[in-house]
């Protein structure tokens, strides 16, 4: 239990840049060093955990923890993964609110803000590329942008609509794969 907590604590404390950056570190700790989960099971699990909503790192910690030591293990691993974050942000937020109006900090952040905008736009376009969006399916992201940005529709509804569409799509794809399997067998 302490081992679980401590392993994920280390991962939470030393990986910068969010969930995917920590993947290789989790693999090293969980598969190579502690041998909690076999290699192919680990990657199967990642594929599923990635498709779940929520915090990727937390989902991974919960799964590994549960696999090793049941519910208590899951909670221990999850706390390990999030406690460093919470502590560091609490410290920084307190300090930052003190210094926000400092002219030097203000100037630095005036430079940072446009950069943040770029850092949000770039991965979204990369995601569109990796999703293999064609001219036909490009309507989906364009519609999402239009609804949220222009019509001020809550992203909640956009996601719900997208989930409904995707489930139908997945069912159709699943059926098609099944019939192809049958054809092959014949």
Partner 1 sequence: MIYFQLLWVFVKIGVLGFGGGYGMLSLIQHEVVDHYAWMNTTEFADMVAISQMTPGPISINLATYVGYTTAGFGGSLLASFALCLPSIIMVYLILKLFMNKKNSALLTNTLKGLKPAIAGLIFAAGLAMMNTQNFVDFGRGQYNISVIICVLAFVASYFFKANPILLIVISGVIGFFAF
* Site for partner 1, residues 131 to 170, rule: CB under 8 A: 131, 133, 137-138, 140-145, 148-149, 152, 154-156, 158-163, 165-167, 169-170
Give least dist CB 33 to partner 1, A: 20
| Tokens 């799964």 found at | 63
The CB-side HSE value for 56 (13 A sphere, CA atoms) comes to: 14
User: For residues 33 and 89, which CB has a smaller minimum distance to partner 1 in the complex?
Assistant: 89
- Which 12-51 residues touch partner 1, going by CB under 8 A? 12-20, 22, 44-45, 47-51
The yes or no reply on residue 59 touching partner 1 (CB under 8 A) is: yes
Give least dist CB 34 to partner 1, A: 19
Question: CA 1 to CA 77: how far, in whole Å?
Answer: 8
Question: CA 90 to CA 86: how far, in whole Å?
Answer: 6
| Tokens 């001219």 found at | 135
Size of the site for partner 1 (CB under 8 A): 102
> Which tokens hold the place of 119?
């850092």
Contact partners, residue 165, CB within 8 Å, separation at least 6: 140
- Which 98-117 residues touch partner 1, going by CB under 8 A? 100, 104, 106-117
User: For residues 31 and 74, which CB has a smaller minimum distance to partner 1 in the complex?
Assistant: 74
Query: 38, 41, 96, 99: which one contacts partner 1 (CB under 8 A)?
Result: 96
Give least dist CB 97 to partner 1, A: 8
The yes or no reply on residue 121 touching partner 1 (CB under 8 A) is: yes
Query: 38, 72, 127, 179: which one contacts partner 1 (CB under 8 A)?
Result: 127
67-71 long-range contacts (CB < 8 A, ≥24 apart) are 67/36, 67/37, 68/4, 68/36, 68/37, 69/1, 69/4
Q: Interface mask (CB under 8 A) for partner 1, residues 66-95, using x and -?
A: x----x--xx--x--xx-xxx-xxx-xxx-
What is the residue-wise DSSP string for 52-107?
Answer: SSS-HHHHHHHHHHHHHHHHHHHHHHHHHHHHHHHHHHHHHHHHHHHHTTSHHHHH
């Amino acid at each position: 239990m302490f081992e679980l907590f401590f392993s994920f604590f280390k991962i939470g404390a030393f990986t910068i840049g969010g969930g995917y950056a920590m993947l290789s570190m989790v693999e090293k700790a969980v598969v190579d060093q502690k041998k909690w989960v076999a290699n192919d099971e680990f990657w199967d699990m990642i594929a599923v955990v990635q498709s779940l909503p929520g915090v990727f790192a937390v989902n991974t910690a919960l799964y590994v923890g549960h696999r090793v030591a049941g519910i208590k293990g899951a909670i221990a691993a999850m706390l390990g993964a999030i406690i460093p974050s919470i502590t560091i942000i609490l410290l920084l937020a307190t300090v930052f609110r003190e210094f926000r109006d400092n002219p030097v900090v203000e100037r630095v952040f005036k430079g940072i803000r446009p950069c943040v905008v770029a850092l949000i736009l770039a991965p979204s376009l990369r995601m569109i590329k990796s999703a293999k969006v064609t001219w036909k399916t490009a309507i989906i992201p364009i519609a999402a942008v239009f609804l949220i940005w222009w019509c001020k529709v809550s992203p909640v509804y956009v996601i719900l609509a997208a989930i409904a569409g995707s489930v139908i799509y997945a069912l159709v794809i699943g059926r098609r794969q099944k019939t192809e399997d049958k054809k092959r067998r014949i």
